[in-house]
Amino acid sequence: MPDSKTAPDATLYRLSLYHCYLSELLRVGAPERITSRQLAQELNIKEETVRRDISFVGEIGRPGAGYSPSILYAEFTKYLGLSEEYPIVKVGTVRMLDALRVVFPAEQYGVKPVAYFSELPEDVGLEVGGITMQHLTDIPKLDPALDVTVALVACSAGWVQITVDLLVSAGITGVLLLTPTVRLRRSPEMYVTQIRLPCDLKSLACRCRVHAGTVGTM
């Protein structure tokens, strides 16, 4: 089995995209076989790219015969180093994390929240989805037995840097940051994927204006 460290970051991202798509497919009722062409069409990716990405995982299925969705999903899970319920911690207020459960019901996507932390003292002791909230200053006390390496952070902007530093001390090496912070100091061992909502909205608005201007001149 190839080492996932040898795959380019873009390939790893697409493999995670295929993994999510297959998860959805298996949840609603997958066909007996799926081809690289079908994956390419569904996800708007070139077929050759899909085939090349899958080749990093190994020899799966037979050329021209397609793949078993369940086997392909299992192979992607293994290659990406995931489990059927990948453990994560979440940082944010009770109100924020409760709202996130509505738009992102983690358990439906193979993600298992195991600990919640809030910057608000009044949130401590309250429950969200059966998990008791702790104060984010307790992050360094995170039980190593939980085997968590990834955190979803949606705290207020003023707490982001402190939170990331505390997560590093707890052994967390990956953060999905939802708080729109532009500047962030992080250690070389920490991977941060950031969703910068204001910047994304500005970029989208610019694209729309450019597109409208182009259409108007045609």
Could you read off the pLDDT of 80-91 as tens digits, one per residue? Answer: 877 667 899 999
Show me where the domains of the chain are located: 4-79, 86-199
- How far apart CA 79 and CA 94 sit, in angstroms, is 34
- How far apart CA 214 and CA 218 sit, in angstroms, is 7
**Quick one: pLDDT band at residue 27, thresholds 50, 70, 90?**
confident
In the predicted model, is pLDDT for residue 78 greater than 90? no
**Quick one: pLDDT band at residue 211, thresholds 50, 70, 90?**
low
4-79 architecture in CATH?
Answer: Orthogonal Bundle (1.10)
In CATH terms, are 4-79 and 86-199 the same topology?
A: no
**Quick one: pLDDT band at residue 215, thresholds 50, 70, 90?**
low
Q: Does domain 86-199 have CATH number 1.20.140.10?
A: no
pTM: 0.72
